[in-house]
Amino acid sequence: MSEILNLWHSIVGIVTSSDAVTLIIMAVVAVGAGFAMQSMASLVTATFGALVLFGLVNFVRGALTGKSATALAQSDWHTLLSLQVQVLLAYAIAFAVVIAIVHLIRSAVTRG
């Protein structure tokens, strides 16, 4: 039970500690993935793709702020290698929930 609670705290930490631009990027990527999904069977694939796209968009965002792209790429790579599995799972769950909700709403609206 404590592992589930730790995972929940990681998800809440992602939402509460991110800046507004990062949250908007997360929302746009997740909503886009939810609209792009054909069925709920592709939720895992859509979530993985959304996580990759989120990482790339954050890299481009950092590069556009004037930082060196090579230094930023190296820094991001080292950050990815030191990322804890619990945090990665929390991001995946957060993205998957939003993607699934968007897909279900889209499916309900287009069918009805």
- What does the pLDDT look like over 17-29, one tens digit per residue? 989 999 999 999 9
Q: How far is residue 87 from each of residues 24, 59, 94, 102, 108, measured CA to CA in Å?
A: 19, 18, 11, 23, 32
Question: Residue 57: what pLDDT?
Answer: 95
Judge whether residue 1 has pLDDT over 90.
no
User: Looking at the 3D structure of the chain, how many domains does it have?
Assistant: 1
Question: Residue 112: what pLDDT?
Answer: 61
| Tens of pLDDT, residues 64-99 | 988 888 998 899 899 889 989 999 999 999 999 999
d(CA 56, CA 90): 18
Residue 42 burial by Cβ neighbours in a 10 Å radius (0-12, 13-18, 19+): middle
Q: How far is residue 23 from each of residues 14, 55, 96, measured CA to CA in Å?
A: 9, 13, 15
Average pLDDT over residues 2-6: 91
Q: Average per-residue pLDDT in the chain?
A: 93
Question: Residue 59: what pLDDT?
Answer: 92
Judge whether residue 45 has pLDDT over 90.
yes
Q: Which domain holds residue 101?
A: 2-111
For 75, phi then psi, to 5°, come to -65, -45
**Residue from 109, 100, 110 nearest 34 by CA:** 100
